[in-house]
């Protein structure tokens, strides 16, 4: 009987110890899980909503105007330069001025291809590098005409009215009086509200676009002047440039 009681008592003690151990294990597990959740919450960074950078509206740069933007009067551009005798045909020498020197003096802006335009509207094209080796004379038959060793005499444009470099163009006074409107049309002058007429002494007179039809480039007392409305005797002595007003 005592053995039985002792055995039962031992069994009760074992069950009691097992129950306590299981309870402690459960509590420890729950505590560890709670600690883990706290660590996760503490270490998670708040998620920021993505913000888009402000979109800049594309801005278009103003287009560069196409066409001639400055007209240079040859007869006055050669002032101060030295002429030289250049060949037209064998045995036919003419006093002429270097196109290269006028190009440099006036700071001409040129394309790779240049147009030489006759008074009859005939257009010949040649490379800039070629035209700059030549000379222009205002003397003799069919003048103005391009001469010099680099010029084939049988292919020269008679009565050269214009040499169009692209942005800049040279005009010659091949007749006594030339309408500025006709010059603009022949060269494709850029449109503007007004145009500056600039003399060799830098005197500048501005003419409204609607008055260009009343303007002329003329030979007056051995000078090449501009006749424009709105000025004393309507004459600007020794006109050198015409360009869009500032």
| Cβ burial, residue 99 (10 Å; 0-12/13-18/19+) | buried
Q: Are residues 13 and 87 in the same domain?
A: no
The answer to whether residue 1 scores a pLDDT higher than 70 is no
Count Cα atoms within 13 angstroms, Cβ side, for 104: 8
Give the confidence band of 25 by pLDDT, cuts at 50, 70, 90.
very low
**76-91 pLDDT, tens per residue?**
999 999 999 999 999 9
The answer to whether residue 182 scores a pLDDT higher than 70 is yes
Helix (H, G, I), strand (E, B) or coil at 136: strand
Q: Is residue 55 part of a domain?
A: no
Compute how many other C-beta atoms are within 10 angstroms of the C-beta atom of residue 245.
14
Q: Are residues 118 and 33 in the same domain?
A: no
Q: Are residues 18 and 101 in the same domain?
A: no
The answer to whether residue 8 scores a pLDDT higher than 90 is no
Q: Is residue 113 part of a domain?
A: yes
Q: Is residue 188 part of a domain?
A: yes
The answer to whether residue 29 scores a pLDDT higher than 90 is no
The answer to whether residue 187 scores a pLDDT higher than 80 is yes
Q: What is the mean pLDDT of residues 184-209?
A: 97
Please provide the size of the chain in residues: 246
Q: What is the mean pLDDT of residues 56-71?
A: 67
Q: What is the pLDDT of residue 42?
A: 43
Q: Is residue 98 part of a domain?
A: yes
- For 225, the token pair is 């002047």
Report yes or no: 226 and 233 within 8 Å, Cβ to Cβ: no
The answer to whether residue 203 scores a pLDDT higher than 90 is yes
Q: Are residues 33 and 94 in the same domain?
A: no
Number of domains observed in the structure of the chain: 2
| Helices assigned H by DSSP within the chain | 2-43, 74-77, 99-105, 128-131, 180-187
Q: Is residue 53 part of a domain?
A: no
Q: Are residues 23 and 130 in the same domain?
A: no
**Domain ranges, residue 17:** 1-38
Q: What is the mean pLDDT of residues 46-70?
A: 59
Poorest-pLDDT segment among 37-46, 129-138, 197-206: 37-46
Q: Is residue 58 part of a domain?
A: no
């Amino acid at each position: 009987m005592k053995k039985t009681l002792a055995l039962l008592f031992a069994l009760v003690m074992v069950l009691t110890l097992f129950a306590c151990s299981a309870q402690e294990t459960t509590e420890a597990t729950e505590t560890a899980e709670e600690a883990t959740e706290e660590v996760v919450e503490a270490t998670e960074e708040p998620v920021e909503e993505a913000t888009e950078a402000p979109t800049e509206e594309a801005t278009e740069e103003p287009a560069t105007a196409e066409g001639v933007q400055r007209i240079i009067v040859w007869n006055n551009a050669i002032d101060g330069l030295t002429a030289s005798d250049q060949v037209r045909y064998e045995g036919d020498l003419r006093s002429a001025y270097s196109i290269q020197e006028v190009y440099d003096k006036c700071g001409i802006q040129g394309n790779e291809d240049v147009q030489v335009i006759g008074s009859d509207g005939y257009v010949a094209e040649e490379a800039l590098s070629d035209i700059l080796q030549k000379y222009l004379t205002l003397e003799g038959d069919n003048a103005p005409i391009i001469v010099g060793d680099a010029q084939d005499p049988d292919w020269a444009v008679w009565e050269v009215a214009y040499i169009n470099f692209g942005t800049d163009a040279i005009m010659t006074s091949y007749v006594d009086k030339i309408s500025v409107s006709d010059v603009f049309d022949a060269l494709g002058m850029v449109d503007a509200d007004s145009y500056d007429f600039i003399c060799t002494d830098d005197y500048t007179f501005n003419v409204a676009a609607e008055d260009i039809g009343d303007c002329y480039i003329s030979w007056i007392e051995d000078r090449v002047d501009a006749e424009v409305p709105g000025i004393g005797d309507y004459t600007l002595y020794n006109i050198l440039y015409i360009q869009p007003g500032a």
